[in-house]
Homo-oligomer: A and B are copies of this chain.
């Protein structure tokens, strides 16, 4: 039954029990997937983490552990935190541009009174004011690293 062993049991050169915690999430045909989480977390740590979770979230957890491990292997200094930092910066830059546009529209409306009467055709500012909740929160949220430390606190 050697070909029936999951990637974790193959890697550890052990028998793969019928109730193997790894089998559903680290199939025999994807040895790299387990190799990555084993390298970053250690195989037994991954097994423990999965055991501690309810069955219905284990696949999601295994996928995310794999992604984080892959990211850490690609970027041993920053890992996933490097991606989060870049995204905060990009959101911050975009929010600054939105604020500039809002100012320019307000200035244009002051300069062009007839502009006021065209709200039905041109309600940019109201749109800017009704950005989706996530985006409305952006300016406040996307403070890196201070905001990030909130996520992590």
Listed in ascending order, the chain A residues whose CB lies under 8 Å from chain B are 40-42, 45, 49, 52-53, 57, 60-61, 64-65, 67-68, 70-72, 74, 76-84, 86-91, 93-95, 97-98, 100-101, 104-105, 107-108, 111-112, 118, 121-124, 127-128, 131-132, 134-135, 138, 141, 148, 151-153
Contacts and interface: CB of A to CB of B under 8 A. Distances in A.
Interface of A is mostly: helix
Stoichiometry (number of copies): 2
Given A71-B151, A89-B134, A127-B104, A60 B45 contact: no
Given A83-B84, A93-B134, A151-B83, A112 B118 contact: yes
A148 B68 CA distance: 11
Given A93-B132, A134-B90, A118 B108 contact: yes
